[in-house]
Amino acid sequence: MLEKSELFSQEIIKKLQAWELRYPKDQKRSVILPGLHVLQDEHGGFLTTELMDKLALYLDVPAPSVYEVATFYSMYDLEKVGRHKLNVCTNVSCMLNGAKKIVSHIEDKLGIKAGETTEDGRITLRSVECQGACCGAPMLEVDKVFYENLTIEKVDQIIDSLE
C-alpha cells in the first residue's frame, strides 16, 4: 500500500495538511470537501475516481464517503471541463431578473447548450441553483469569481476577456 506521502505531490499534500489543521484529528471526513477542491483545482478543474480513491486513502475514510460528496455538490466536476467554468444561476431571484435571457445569450454566443463545453475546450457553461448572491441577481460565477447585476453587455465583456 502507498504511503500518504506517495499519494500526491508535495504541493498538494501541503494544501491538504493546511485543511487538516482546521479540524479535530478525529474528524477527517470534514476535510473531504476542501480536499476535493484542492484536487480538482490541481487537475484541470475536474475529478477522477482515481483522485477520489487517493483522497479516501489519504484521509483514511471509506471511498464512498468521498464519492457521495463529489457527486452531491454541483461545484465538483467528474468529467473533463473547459478552461473556464461559467455557472449562471437560474434559481428564483435570478430567474425573475432575467437569468434565462442570459443563459440563452451565452448559448447563442458560444454555440453550445448549458451543460456543454465549447469545441476548443475554452468554456463550460452551466445553469446552476442559487449561489447565495440573490441580492445581486442575476448573477454568474466564472472560475469562482461572482459577477452580479448582470446585463447582456456585461456578460459579453466578461466572456470576451477570458483567454
Site residues (vs ligand FES, CB under 6 A): 89, 91-94, 130-134, 137, 139
Long-range contacts of 140-146 (CB under 8 A, 24+ apart): 140/86, 140/87, 140/88, 140/89, 140/102, 141/85, 141/86, 141/87, 141/89, 142/84, 142/85, 142/86, 142/87, 143/84, 143/85
By beta-carbon proximity to ligand FES, the closer residue of 122 and 154 is 154
By beta-carbon proximity to ligand FES, the closer residue of 65 and 93 is 93
By beta-carbon proximity to ligand FES, the closer residue of 39 and 133 is 133
**In the complex, minimum distance from the CB of residue 114 to ligand FES, in angstroms, rounded to a whole number:** 15
**In the complex, minimum distance from the CB of residue 105 to ligand FES, in angstroms, rounded to a whole number:** 17
Cβ neighbour number for residue 33 with a 10 Å cutoff: 16
Residue 21's contacts (CB-CB under 8 Å, 6 or more residues apart) are none
Three cell numbers written together for 42: 490541481
**In the complex, minimum distance from the CB of residue 126 to ligand FES, in angstroms, rounded to a whole number:** 13
**In the complex, minimum distance from the CB of residue 135 to ligand FES, in angstroms, rounded to a whole number:** 8
By beta-carbon proximity to ligand FES, the closer residue of 34 and 98 is 98
